[in-house]
Amino acid sequence: MEKFIPKSARGQKVKYLAVSAHKDDVEMLALDGIFRAYGEGGFAAAVLTDGGQCPRSREYSAVGDEDMALIRTAEQKRAAEAGRYEKLYLFEKTSAEVKRAAYGDGGLAEELAEVFRENPRPDVLYLHNPFDRHPTHVAACLLAIKAVNMLKDDEKPLKIYGCEVWRDLDWPADSDKVAMNVSGSDELAAKLMACFVSQNSVKRYDVASAARRAANATFYQSHEGDEASALVYGLDMTELAYGASVEDFMRRILDDFRKDLHVAL
């Protein structure tokens, strides 16, 4: 694991911490924390995979996996500088290694727990959520929850939010949904996403993530005017740090969704 300290870091205590599967996931799922900390510091991130096996545009078609991983690492470090992160932890694992650690071997979870111990009791820990369509995102979420449960209670985050990347979270019942108002973050978000040239060249994550935040704000309430111009949705998963199982949590969210429907099922 590499611990990178951006030159733009403010040297503040980490109040907002994110764990993501891939390089560029943090900038989508944890924009709330990045935006909150941008002026005075306090945001850090851990990225689990090296990203070497990512999709490629024609421009990068001849680049091998090892070199692609280096390109993506450089992009993630540029984003950390642009976002004024306090710290960036790069685990540089393969997706297969993350999945094995999530569903079996505990070595990587303990390594991640050490990152949490180094940054104890943040206000918010931003993660992927277990409803995500991407299996590596789900594995990253489960691995992080496993690591949190290795901590003492006074080291655990005050809140854990599971955020959207490869599945929107507009569908859960409003009582289960955390709507993070990131109005005014468009310029910062664009600057962050522009760092990931290799990914934007094949998938327009920069455009799509901005559009999703705007759509969330407009479609948040059907009978009220817009009070925000950009929202990031999450699920409050804090209970998973204190004995609740991921399976029971997911069943409750799905049951609440069913009860929220206008047609009884």
Q: Residues 6 or more apart from 6 whose CB is under 8 A from it? A: 77, 80, 81, 84, 85, 86, 88
Taking the C-alpha atoms of residue 223 and residue 220, their distance in angstroms, rounded to an integer, is: 9
Instruction: Please state the rounded mean pLDDT for residues 136-150.
Output: 97
Take residue 240 and report the two structure tokens written for it: 């998973």
Reported as a pLDDT band with limits 50, 70 and 90, residue 56 is: low
Q: Residue 149 carries which side chain, given as an amino acid letter? A: N
State residue 20 phi and psi, 5-degree precision: -130, 160
State residue 46 phi and psi, 5-degree precision: -125, 130
pLDDT confidence of residue 64 = 66
pLDDT confidence of residue 32 = 98
Q: Are 9 and 87 in contact (CB under 8 A)?
A: yes
pLDDT at 145 over 90: yes
Taking the C-alpha atoms of residue 156 and residue 242, their distance in angstroms, rounded to an integer, is: 9
181: buried, middle or exposed (CB in 10 Å: 19+, 13-18, 0-12)?
middle
Distances in Å between the Cα of 114 and the Cα atoms of 137, 148, 199 are: 21, 10, 30
pLDDT confidence of residue 68 = 80
Per residue in 196-231, pLDDT (tens digit) is 988 767 789 999 999 999 999 999 987 677 789 999
Instruction: Please state the rounded mean pLDDT for residues 122-141.
Output: 97
| pTM check: above 0.85 | yes
Higher model confidence: residue 57 or residue 215? 215
Per residue in 67-88, pLDDT (tens digit) is 888 998 999 999 999 999 999 9
